[in-house]
Chain A
Amino acid sequence: MATQASRAAARAMLSPAVVLLLIWMIVPLAMTLWFSFQRYNLLYPDRAGFIGFGNYINFVATSGFWEAIVNTLLLVGGVLAITVIGGILIALLIDQPIWGQGPVRILVISPFFIMPPVAALIWKNMFMNPSNGLFAEAARFLGLPPFDFLGQAPLASIVLIVAWQWLPFATLILLTALQSLDSERMEAAEMDGAGPFARFWFIALPHLARAITVVILIQTIFLLGIFGEILVTTNGGPGNASTTLTYLVYKEALLDFDAGTAAAGGVVAVILANIVALFLMRAIGRNLDA
């Protein structure tokens, strides 16, 4: 299956995808880099000019920069912890012989298909609203004072919302991996006298290792870009309490119209994402027999 003709055809059919993706990657990135060294405000386009690292200094000096970095790490870390641990537990549960496994699977997976801003709005208004959200009702029922989730613990609330959206993903992938575990291996371990916990720890968990890696890496990529949830719930506030790096750049660009500083922020975001991506590529590259 490898004649010159077929190889030429392959190259021809591959090129549109490659060229498009190349443009999509290089052009905006080059422009971002360029703008990051320019004074450029969308409101005053004529006051442009090279300002060296001014934008970077500006961006890092922005009141919320370090907070945004910490928030980003907390958001990603928090959601990963909840979804991976929760995902393993739920996957183990659903993998047991139960009645109605199909319907349960559908119930569990459903949140993943909810558009992020919708998910955020539902949680914000109908659950976390301090005056008439369900949580407030529950607190009232228990005789506790209602808690203003998005006001008092904005980041934790967003972690909760995002974790709700991604828990199904982690569960589904871990469940799929679990179901591919050869039952004979489990039975062999049982014959060898391993109890349920030993079986989980020595057989199931190592088998899941690869799936867990994949879950962590892929979620990280998506989580670094979380945007809609913040936009509709807290707008990054109060103050900068729930502003992530992504959101900070967005604020600079489309709220302050400071394209130069936003570009510098974009470059920082790209560098950070690339550090994660590097690990992801290694893991996937090793896992895939491409």
Chain B
Amino acid sequence: MARAVPPARKALTTALAWAVGLLLFFPILWTVLTSFKPEPVAVASPPVFLDFDWTLRNYQDVQRQRDYFDYFQNSVILSLGSTILALLIAIPAAWSMAFVPGRRTKDLLMWMLSTKMMPAVGVLVPIYLILKWLDDMITRRTGIDVGLDSHVALLVILTLINLPIVIWMLYTYFREIPGEILEAARMDGATLRDEILWILTPMALPGIASTFLLNVILAWNEAFWTINLTVTDAAPLSKFITGFSSPQGLFYAKLSAASTLAIAPILVLGWFSQRQLVRGLTFGAVK
């Protein structure tokens, strides 16, 4: 576009775009602001925007509820852990489909996608019962917690939920790497392991990184299995936040502080990964 846009018009569209952006962002901004307000100011009428005594009280209170950091820790364990597990399974699988495609590769990819479409409620009962059974059979006997409200169970479930997306994303990234380079490595004496470790992974690193980011975000924000299958031991922030849904929710400032803590890390990651997000969530259909 080498044409000059009239500055007046540009100013107008700029103003409009910023207005839309700020409008959409406003609930987040308001939450963050409220998290610094003393509780009475948070519910003041008319609402106070910036002119109040900024305080960190709410954060201290949330932190003092001791369990906040347990939940936070669980969120970190579950989202990072499930993403790493999914990557470990998906990298070899995506290698296979990208570089040794067969007649069935496309069907296989579509099938993987279809597992993602199974509604979670459809299988809630059996999953619940399996975990309960595991509790009886293993947890109770060995003390190794693998059933309801366990890290292991949630890690496995979150891994499986995101596996199709991880495979798809990696597949689209791997397909951009010319097969000749891997063949060259093979001619140079690289074993399959060398090939994946020294050539493919470093070359696909940007793609792997964005796959990682997006799936950490998705796992962090997952709110069906985590809410229904955890109580306290493995409960992440989604569970923590639902605890505010009734009476506690009336403490707006504390709710805001807890919300800010729950969303801040992922919001920042999200800003970094927004460009890859499109490709990841559309299964490569839009780039």
- Residues of chain A touching chain B, judged by Cβ–Cβ distance below 8 Å, are 1-2, 6-7, 9-11, 13-14, 16-18, 20-21, 24-25, 27-29, 31-32, 35, 90, 93-94, 96-101, 103-119, 121-127, 132, 134, 137, 140-141, 164, 167-169, 172-173, 176-177, 180, 183, 210-211, 214-215, 218, 221, 224-225, 227-228, 231-233, 245-246, 249-250, 253-254, 259, 262-263, 265-267, 269-270, 272-274, 276-277, 280-281, 284-285, 287-288, 290
Contacts and interface: CB of A to CB of B under 8 A. Distances in A.
Contacts of B95: 10, 13
A14 B92 contact: yes
B209 interface: no
Contact of B14 (A21, A100, A176, A210): A100
Contacts of A90: 20
Contacts of A284: 110, 113, 283, 285
The 4 A-B pairs of least Cβ separation, nearest first, read A13-B92, A107-B21, A31-B126, A113-B270
B201 interface: no
The residue among A107, A172, A221, A285 with the most chain B CB atoms within 10 A of its own CB is A107
Interface string B74-107: 0000000000000001101101110110100110
Given A32-B125, A134-B30, A232 B25 contact: no
* Residue in A32, A265, A272 whose Cβ sees the most chain B Cβ within 10 Å: A32
A134 B45 contact: no
Contact of A25 (B5, B115, B220): B115
A277 B24 contact: no
B205 interface: no
A11 B192 CA distance: 13
A288 B169 CA distance: 13
Given A115-B241, A281-B110, A141 B16 contact: no
Given A14-B97, A97-B5, A284-B283, A125 B252 contact: yes
Contact of B25 (A32, A110, A224, A266): A110
Interface in B169-190: 179, 182-183
A173 to B, nearest CB: 5
B24 A110 contact: yes
Contacts of A218: 281-282
A211 B285 CA distance: 8
B263 A115 contact: yes
Given A17-B89, A24-B115, A269-B119, A290 B106 contact: yes
Contact of B24 (A7, A121, A167, A215): A167
A16 B97 CA distance: 13
Interface string B203-230: 0000000000000010011011001100
Nearest to B93: A17
Contacts, number: 322
Contacts of B119: 224-225, 246, 266, 269-270, 272-273
A111 B24 contact: yes
A134 B267 contact: no
Nearest to B105: A290
B123 A17 contact: no
A124 B223 contact: no
A52 B127 CA distance: 22
A161 to B, nearest CB: 9
A35 B126 contact: yes
B238 interface: yes
A232 B282 contact: no
Contact of A117 (B1, B160, B242): B242
Nearest to B171: A290
A146 to B, nearest CB: 11
A261 to B, nearest CB: 10
Given A24-B160, A111-B24, A284-B285, A122 B123 contact: no
Given A1-B100, A17-B167, A111-B24, A259 B255 contact: no
B220 A97 contact: no
A17 B227 CA distance: 26
A169 to B, nearest CB: 7
Interface string B117-143: 111111111111110000000000000
Contacts of B100: 1-2, 6-7, 9-10
Nearest to B240: A117
A114 B267 contact: yes
A104 B129 contact: no
B22 A137 contact: no
Given A97-B5, A99-B10, A231-B227, A121 B241 contact: yes
B28 A285 contact: no
B25 A125 contact: no
A126 B160 contact: no
Nearest to A283: B285
Contacts of A288: 106, 109, 283-285
B65 interface: no
Interface string B7-40: 0001001101110111011011011001000000
A24 to B, nearest CB: 4
